[in-house]
């Protein structure tokens, strides 16, 4: 129930704050009008039993008070078949309700109050193993087997030891086909937003005060080995709250000088918890076999091969992370109307932010809840085994940071003709630094493990604090009206340089490390517009040509084949660019980034025509297209997503007098199979030496029916 959506490109730090370093989406909720209005809409997609129910009731309560109530309920059975559980996933239920009150308190004072509550619960995920190929294992015992074969087959170890792996045979489905092998996943989420805005008219000036409180919580269980074998799970909980206050002064338009200025304060608190859960015997038993085959090389510190896995039976790795932040900002943006055709805009934002962060990770016995011992005996091996196989360690980190940043803006606009405006913008933006919640080790982890193990400890990579990201952007463009106003055309060239680019990199095992990549440059051309081709047919279009290049990124994560090549194993990939303390690093200088396609865009045709007096035929056809892109963080070339064109269509008949509409809606009509994100399957290569990937799979073709009724 939106009034409009504003797409703002390039850094928007002056008016929209620290997080808008590359652009912003401004979603404007619909407000109550002066007349009674009601809307009901129901849509049904039969293939995956997706149902959406929308309702809106809006209008005046008194002469000075209006209200608008909007609600949505959505249910979805899911489009991925879970072979292990014999059900479709991810099944989803969403419930959202929003109340907007518009109160004209006096002729010069008005207020808008908005309260919104959303709940969405999901069972399962749209994740499947998309690539599991034969590779030479890092341990002699598993040589030549895929990860699926390791999990499914009866294993015969050295000396004739037999181990029956009790995994569902669905793990052998290891290619992309909208089928997955997984155990129980769920995600339960609640989101709340409460906003009050007062607007005073002070002569021709406007003073606006906005107070907002936002909160969300979620509780999840992730079957994060992404297979139907009970290897491990991850429990996650998160709670966030944010309070903000903005005061904004806007001068009247049409004067020689126009300005928007004000101040902003925000305070926020985040609490995050997660834990790896080793509840089954598959992983401990496999590690025992691997430990036997490698003569104690799986982290066994006792010198007795074959018992490394025993130390992690019933293992939990509880991690608690908190961060608090306070932000203080003042901003001013002014426009000088030099003459009737030339305008100069200058802007600046000064922000000061203070943050505190704390992270603690430990190892416990799930059965007793007690801390796993560091002492001698089988429990004493837990630190070494977890470090070797999970790349994790017990640690405690805390920190404080304070940063002050000034973001400037200069824009020059020239009305070259009555139908063409040309502009040039130079601006800087920033995204604040902070503390990493998801790293499994401390920054000093490698030295600590070496000291504990006589210089031969497992290699760990840990992070905690990362620095702010900065961008400098130049844009040159034009906005034109063509064919006597029948068409609009916008063209923009942009060049942006990023320094200390923030990246989140999978550590190749189970964790994610947030850090700063160095520098990158992105440039391109964006074209968009609309054309009323006839009285009934309108075309809209957008095209983006993009070039992204890392100028400095020496510590990039290597994809699996390069890691294996660095170990002297069979691989057609080049070895890592360097190895430091046993850790392979790949230099991404000159490479593009995740998701960076050379081109992307859309083309839409809309046809509306009256017939039969009060009826209208409505047809929309749109094509969404992109070039090749890589959905992985480590730019694994085997996971490249080919370019595609997705076709969507909507055919509708409406009765303008009675307010009803019936529509047939088709999405992805050519049934393109696309992957929105891919990564290394946890433990597959790092522990068992098998190259394996999982992916998030986009929805296939759907065709549904939509019924709507509007009273106004």
Flag the least confident range among 40-54, 138-152, 228-242.
138-152
Flag the least confident range among 27-41, 245-259, 276-290.
276-290
3-state secondary structure of 642: coil
What does DSSP say about strands 205-222 and 599-611: parallel, antiparallel, or unpaired? unpaired
Q: Work out the percent of the chain whose per-residue pLDDT is above 70.
A: 91
Query: So what's the pLDDT on residue 285?
Result: 86
Using the predicted structure, report yes or no on whether residue 108 has a pLDDT greater than 90.
yes
Alpha-carbon distance of 697 to 676, in angstroms, equals: 6
Query: So what's the pLDDT on residue 687?
Result: 82
**CA geometry: angle 579, 584, 587, nearest 5 deg:** 90
Element (H, E) at 513: strand 512-516
Query: So what's the pLDDT on residue 378?
Result: 46
Q: Among 131-135, 267-271, 374-378, name the most confident range.
A: 267-271
Flag the least confident range among 295-304, 353-362, 478-487, 532-541.
295-304
Using the predicted structure, report yes or no on whether residue 156 has a pLDDT greater than 60.
no
CA atoms within 13 A on the CB side of 508: 28
pLDDT tens, position by position, 597-630: 999 999 999 999 999 889 999 999 999 999 999 9
Using the predicted structure, report yes or no on whether residue 427 has a pLDDT greater than 90.
yes
> CB neighbours (10 Å) of residue 611?
9
Nearest to 593 by CA among 531, 551, 532, 539: 551
Q: How confident is the model at residue 448 (pLDDT cuts 50, 70, 90)?
A: low
Spatial CB neighbours of 536, under 8 Å, sequence gap ≥ 6: 607, 608, 609
> CB neighbours (10 Å) of residue 439?
30
In total, the chain counts a number of residues equal to: 712
Element (H, E) at 105: strand 91-106
Q: Among 436-445, 631-640, 698-707, name the most confident range.
A: 698-707
Flag the least confident range among 157-171, 281-295, 498-512, 670-684.
157-171
Average pLDDT for 287-298:
69
- Secondary structure (DSSP) of 399-412: EEEEEEEEEEEEEE
Mean per-residue pLDDT over the chain, rounded:
90
Using the predicted structure, report yes or no on whether residue 299 has a pLDDT greater than 60.
no
Query: So what's the pLDDT on residue 157?
Result: 56
Q: How confident is the model at residue 295 (pLDDT cuts 50, 70, 90)?
A: low
Flag the least confident range among 62-76, 499-513, 561-575, 675-689.
561-575
Nearest to 106 by CA among 197, 198, 204: 198
Using the predicted structure, report yes or no on whether residue 305 has a pLDDT greater than 80.
no
Using the predicted structure, report yes or no on whether residue 160 has a pLDDT greater than 50.
yes
For the whole model, what pTM was predicted? 0.90
């Amino acid at each position: 129930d939106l009034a409009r959506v504003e797409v703002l490109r390039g850094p928007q730090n002056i008016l929209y704050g620290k997080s808008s370093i590359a652009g912003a989406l401004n979603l404007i909720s619909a407000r109550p009008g002066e007349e009674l209005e009601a809307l009901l809409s129901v849509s049904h997609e039969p293939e995956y039993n997706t149902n959406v129910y929308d309702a809106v009731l809006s209008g005046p309560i008194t002469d000075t008070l209006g209200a608008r109530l909007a609600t949505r309920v959505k249910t979805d059975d899911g489009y991925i078949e879970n072979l292990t559980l014999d059900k479709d996933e991810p099944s989803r239920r969403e419930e959202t309700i929003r109340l907007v009150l518009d109160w004209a308190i006096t002729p010069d004072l008005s207020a808008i109050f908005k309260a919104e509550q959303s709940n969405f619960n999901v069972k399962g995920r749209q994740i499947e193993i998309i690539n599991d190929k034969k590779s030479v294992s890092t341990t002699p015992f598993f040589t030549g087997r895929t990860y699926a074969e390791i999990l499914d087959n009866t294993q015969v170890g050295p000396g004739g030891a037999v181990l029956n792996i009790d995994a569902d045979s669905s793990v052998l489905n290891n290619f992309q086909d909208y089928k997955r092998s997984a155990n129980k996943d769920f995600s339960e989420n609640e989101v709340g937003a409460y906003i009050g805005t007062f607007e005073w008219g002070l002569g021709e000036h406007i003073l606006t005060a906005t107070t907002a409180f936002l909160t969300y919580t979620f509780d999840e269980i992730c079957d994060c080995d992404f297979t139907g074998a009970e290897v491990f799970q991850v429990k996650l909980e998160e709670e966030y709250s944010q309070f903000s206050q903005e005061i904004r002064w806007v001068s009247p338009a049409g004067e020689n000088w126009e300005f928007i200025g004000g101040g902003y304060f925000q305070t926020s608190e985040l609490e995050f918890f997660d834990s790896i859960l080793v509840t089954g015997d598959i992983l401990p038993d496999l590690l025992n076999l691997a430990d036997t085959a490698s003569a104690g090389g799986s982290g066994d510190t006792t010198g007795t091969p074959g018992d490394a896995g025993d130390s992690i039976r019933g293992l939990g790795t509880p991690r608690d992370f908190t961060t608090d932040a306070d932000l203080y900002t003042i901003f001013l943006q002014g426009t000088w109307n030099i003459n009737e055709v030339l305008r100069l805009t200058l802007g600046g934002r000064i922000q000061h932010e203070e943050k505190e962060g704390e992270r603690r990770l430990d190892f416990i016995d799930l059965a007793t809840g007690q801390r796993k011992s560091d002492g001698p005996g089988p429990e004493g091996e837990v630190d070494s085994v977890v470090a070797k196989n999970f790349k994790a360690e017990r640690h405690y980190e805390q920190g404080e940071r304070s940063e002050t940043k000034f973001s400037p803006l200069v824009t020059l606009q020239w009305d070259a003709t009555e139908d063409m405006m040309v502009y040039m913008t130079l601006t800087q933006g920033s995204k604040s630094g902070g503390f990493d919640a998801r790293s499994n080790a401390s920054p000093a982890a490698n030295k600590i493990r070496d000291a504990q193990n006589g210089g031969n400890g497992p290699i760990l990579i840990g992070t905690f604090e990362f620095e702010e990201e900065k961008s400098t952007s130049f844009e040159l463009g034009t906005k034109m009206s063509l064919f006597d106003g029948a068409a609009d055309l916008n063209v923009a060239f942009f060049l942006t340089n990023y320094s200390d680019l923030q990246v989140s990199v999978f550590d190749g095992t189970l964790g994610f490390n947030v850090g700063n990549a160095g520098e990158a440059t992105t440039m391109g051309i964006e074209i968009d517009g609309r054309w009323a081709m006839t009285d009934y047919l309108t075309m809209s279009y957008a095209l983006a040509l993009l070039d992204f290049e890392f100028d400095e990124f020496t510590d990039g994560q290597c994809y699996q084949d390069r890691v294996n090549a660095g170990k002297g194993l069979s691989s057609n990939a080049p070895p890592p660019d360097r190895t430091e303390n046993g850790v392979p690093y790949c230099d991404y200088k000159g490479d593009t980034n995740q998701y960076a396609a050379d081109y992307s865009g859309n083309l839409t045709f809309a046809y509306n025509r009256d017939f039969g007096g009060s009826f209208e035929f409505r047809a929309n056809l749109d094509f969404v297209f992109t070039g090749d892109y890589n959905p992985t963080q480590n730019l694994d070339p085997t996971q490249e997503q080919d370019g595609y064109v997705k076709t969507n269509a909507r055919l509708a008949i409406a009765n303008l007098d009675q307010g009803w509409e019936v529509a047939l809606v088709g999405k992805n009509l050519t049934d393109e199979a696309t992957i929105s994100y891919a990564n290394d399957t946890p433990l597959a290569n790092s522990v068992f030496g098998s190259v394996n990937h999982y992916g998030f799979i986009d929805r296939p073709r759907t065709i549904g029916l939509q019924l709507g009724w509007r009273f106004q």
